[in-house]
Structure 1
């Protein structure tokens, strides 16, 4: 088995240097924050465009702010293999989530360009403008525009400062009336492929720098409100209480117990509040969120139904009223078997053991699957930490991911026309 490089590989060095340069473009100097349609976002876009041009690509900013580069094939106008990821961040972010895939793709195309190598298909690199959804509370905006599924109603959404997305696009020198021009047609893409940090600890536990993603897990988010009766903490006997917070605590443990017993299922209660919120008052209302994810839509749907039933049962036994609402739902995006096979071949070709795993986090492939088959290549991140300043990829692993991606590009076999959807 080949060993990962020590970080002295040319691609690995270049990628780390560029990740550092992008990471320096931030709203504040102490914490990395690069939000959709801000001055920092534009500065990052300009830098990415310059790198794309240096890599031999024709590069432009599309109507939603995606950074788009195209490296022609042996003939002009051929369908493309699209590589991509996003360049926006969460607040107080790590510098690898999103940019690693984008920068690696640019560096791989640059390697082809330096060698004067053209392929029997074009290669396009898409830097999606907004995947995280921080500013306007709507995710995958860049990739939805490319997939032709952008909802124009989002243009009226406002950020915390009251600025609408429509106005933010205008301030960015983009025309909100032309967002639809970012859309691509199915026949223009052979496939969509994304390299991304794992954002979890599985590859690290396996001792592997890279892995094949089987599916991007679907997610259901719920808002749960339990209503009881507030009362004096010293005068209401325990047996007569309708304590909403105690009921919520039991519900949270029920979510944990159910999801622990189901392999491949994860459930998280990430937010809870109790009212009236005084030390000497029995909580009369408790509100909490639930996030349920699985690589199978059937498993996730079944889990949501069972968790909902258990919450209602707990509420009934405690004489509480439960109000449960679905606030978000995304279906699973399965990675195409024919593409997964080519990712696996590239990993094996670089001498690594092939290991498959699902993605519990959402990615732009969830939007791109509407116009193309998708696949993902995961790269190990230290400690499985993501969305945090401690997010880190070792230079050797960045280089390993680049070598696998470059091998995959050079050996890519488009799906036969008769087998396409």
Structure 2
């Protein structure tokens, strides 16, 4: 039975506001065409100011924390808080809903519930660096909130050679105070995030909302294949040690091995050949590998199988290969209590005799970091055709309205349980 006392008109207006603000934030971009907002950039500062303005509009007190995350809070200052939110940074040439819609929906939930008496405070967070676009390390903002900041990250550099420490100072943050962003478990009731599904399952089911069961475990590698650069015209095939062909065969092996495994996804998203001349057999190739799975053990077994296959490929071609792991994150399973609350929130919103869909998230989210300090729950919204990290990324206003109502019902369900 619905707990939310709000009219359809109020919820429809909230959805229209979310869609309009997604459009407004899309205009804050470092790129002349397309959307690009990276950590500690002028665009980051601009969207934080906009988010703070919208937080104050619904009665929240606001602050930017020591990692550049934007937060708003409503409720008893002494109470533990239920945290709602997502991120406002993007990949290059991004869509306008990944992360963003979750922050804006959270603000509309606060608007709908501001007259409700809740046994906890509510915080809305706009995380600053979920994507890792600028410095190559994802989840920087949420890692700081989780108290998991690695001092080794200060030496990370962007494409211009600016270090993370230098970027902090330029943004007006103090690297020495990064620990102040960390939250303690007793400060939080839990973390809820609404997000577009970054895949086609809901669209194929013809359903608008889903409960998320877990967030994929992930490992990322930079691979180097070494051969011998020689003249393209003068080197017979039996004398070639072509690093690019070895790397290409490796990429095909990743696809073949991962397709044979349930719920394991491997992607080679970067491939570069050196010296890169049209008339030179490539002597070196560099490629990336993004490996994700529902369970850590299965993911690691697939990496072992890929490694063995690369040994065979390179041995056969007279090449050498090395791997450097640049990211590793365990699977995060959504808290049963929060899953149940999200399920009830969807049931209260969507008239159906069937249970809502339950989906494992193959994409990473800030909840992967926040899960270290509090329970995590997630609500997925249908994304037509499942396309994401692309300008064609989409969500309907109607599904956003259903998502806002479901998220508000989820909060009320948690309040009733407490």
Q: Please give the TM-score of this superposition, normalised by the length of structure 2.
A: 0.91
Q: State whether residues 189 and 372 of structure 1, in contact with CA within 8 Å, keep that contact through their aligned partners in structure 2.
A: yes
| Further displaced range: 18-27 or 185-194 | 18-27
**Distance in 2 between the 1:329 and 1:364 partners?**
14
Other structure's SS at 1:117 match: coil
Q: State whether residues 140 and 367 of structure 1, in contact with CA within 8 Å, keep that contact through their aligned partners in structure 2.
A: yes
Q: State whether residues 66 and 142 of structure 1, in contact with CA within 8 Å, keep that contact through their aligned partners in structure 2.
A: yes
1:182-205 CA distance string (max 9 Å, x none): 111101111111111112222111
1:409 and 2:411 matched: yes
Match for residue 186 of structure 2? Answer: 187
State the Cα distance separating 1:415 from its structure 2 match.
Answer: 7.9
Gaps of 5+ in 2: 3-7
1:89-111 CA distance string (max 9 Å, x none): 22222111111000000111011
Other structure's SS at 2:129 match: coil
| Compared CA separation, residues 218 and 7, structure 1 to 2 (3 A) | farther
**Distance in 2 between the 1:373 and 1:381 partners?**
25
Match for residue 345 of structure 2? Answer: 346
Gaps of 5+ in 1: 417-421
Match for residue 43 of structure 1? Answer: 46
State the Cα distance separating 1:140 from its structure 2 match.
Answer: 1.2
Match for residue 322 of structure 2? Answer: 323
| Further displaced range: 328-337 or 33-42 | 33-42
Match for residue 14 of structure 1? Answer: 17
Q: Select 1:66's aligned residue among 53, 58, 69.
A: 69
**Distance in 1 between the 2:206 and 2:10 partners?**
17
**Number of residue equivalences:** 409
| Compared CA separation, residues 135 and 285, structure 1 to 2 (3 A) | closer
| Compared CA separation, residues 11 and 321, structure 1 to 2 (3 A) | same
- For the aligned residue pairs, the C-alpha RMSD in angstroms reads 2.4
| Compared CA separation, residues 396 and 330, structure 1 to 2 (3 A) | same
1:143 and 2:142 matched: yes
| Compared CA separation, residues 275 and 182, structure 1 to 2 (3 A) | closer
State the Cα distance separating 1:395 from its structure 2 match.
Answer: 0.8
Other structure's SS at 2:405 match: helix
Q: Select 2:378's aligned residue among 363, 376, 383.
A: 376
Q: Select 2:33's aligned residue among 24, 30, 55.
A: 30
1:153-196 CA distance string (max 9 Å, x none): 43343333344333433333333322211111101111111111
Match for residue 56 of structure 2? Answer: 53
State the Cα distance separating 1:344 from its structure 2 match.
Answer: 1.3
Match for residue 306 of structure 1? Answer: 305
Other structure's SS at 1:357 match: strand
| Compared CA separation, residues 276 and 6, structure 1 to 2 (3 A) | farther
Other structure's SS at 1:9 match: helix
Q: State whether residues 266 and 289 of structure 2, in contact with CA within 8 Å, keep that contact through their aligned partners in structure 1.
A: yes
1:287-311 CA distance string (max 9 Å, x none): 3222111010010010001110011
Q: Please give the TM-score of this superposition, normalised by the length of structure 1.
A: 0.90
**Distance in 2 between the 1:181 and 1:80 partners?**
17
